[in-house]
Amino acid sequence: MSQQTIEPRFIAVEGAIGAGKTSLVNLLEQQYGARVILEENDSNPFIAKFYEDQETYSFQTQIFFLLSRYNQYMELAQRDLFNSVVVIDYLFQRDKIFAQLNLEDHEYRLYEQIYNLISSKAPKPDLVIFLQASTEVLLERVSKRGREYESFMDPDYLDSVNKAFNNFFFYYSDTPLLVINTNEIDFVEKKCDLEELINKVNSHKIGREYYNPLGS
């Protein structure tokens, strides 16, 4: 018996820093006529200071992101999921991945209390797309997009983030998951790469699937 093909109305795109989440979300908007929700990275008043001094600013940065992400997901649940296709450039659990990576033990215990109170209220996507890439590729993409506050990012930190995301999605089973290796493709500049990716999204089966394109 073949697996059922899903028709996702709520898609979350995930990946480490520089994976291409926002770029893909904007392209999916055009493809599906979707409503797009983008993470408000630049509105976090602590993010630039965090990259300069992680030890001092990690807790403030993380709590701001947690509450911001929660507010976006709650607004999404109330207004959009029954009216249109929605594409968002992060999974709510993303916050906890960074918290585990960035916070001291005593900070994380407090953080986890807050997270556990609110996380169950966040709606689950119909499909999660995880954009996978090597740390070297991520570093190239981060450098290319030229965000000033990311210029202070330690390459070792990005490598730790990348490993944390790969580990999280290795065990992830909450929703259907499509893992895409993006090392050899450019879905922004190459139409054929985007078309193949869209076909894979449209044909995705319930469960976990890996897509490892060779590029064009």
User: Taking the complete model, does pTM exceed 0.85, yes or no?
Assistant: yes
Give the pLDDT confidence of 80-118 residue by residue, as tens digits. Answer: 556 678 999 999 999 999 999 999 999 999 999 999 999
Q: Is the pLDDT of residue 209 over 70?
A: yes
Q: Average pLDDT of 55-63?
A: 96
Separation CA 211–CA 181 (nearest Å):
6
Whether the CB-CB separation of 145 and 21 falls below 8 Å is answered with no
Residues annotated as catalytic (active site), given as ranges: 89
Q: Does domain 10-211 have CATH number 3.50.50.60?
A: no
pLDDT, tens digit, 9 for 90 and up, residues 162-186: 999 999 999 999 999 999 999 999 8
Assign residue 138 a region (left: φ > 0; alpha: ψ between -120 and 50; beta: otherwise).
alpha
**Distance between CA 88 and CA 46 in Å, rounded?**
23
Confidence of residue 4 (pLDDT cuts 50, 70, 90): low
Helices (H) and strands (E) in the chain, counts: 8, 6
Beta strands in the chain (DSSP E): 10-15, 35-37, 86-88, 127-132, 177-181, 208-211
* pLDDT at residue 60 is higher than 50: yes
What is the signed CA dihedral for 69, 167, 123, 212, rounded to 10 degrees? 110
- Is the per-residue pLDDT at 1 higher than 50? no
- Average pLDDT of the chain to the nearest whole number: 89
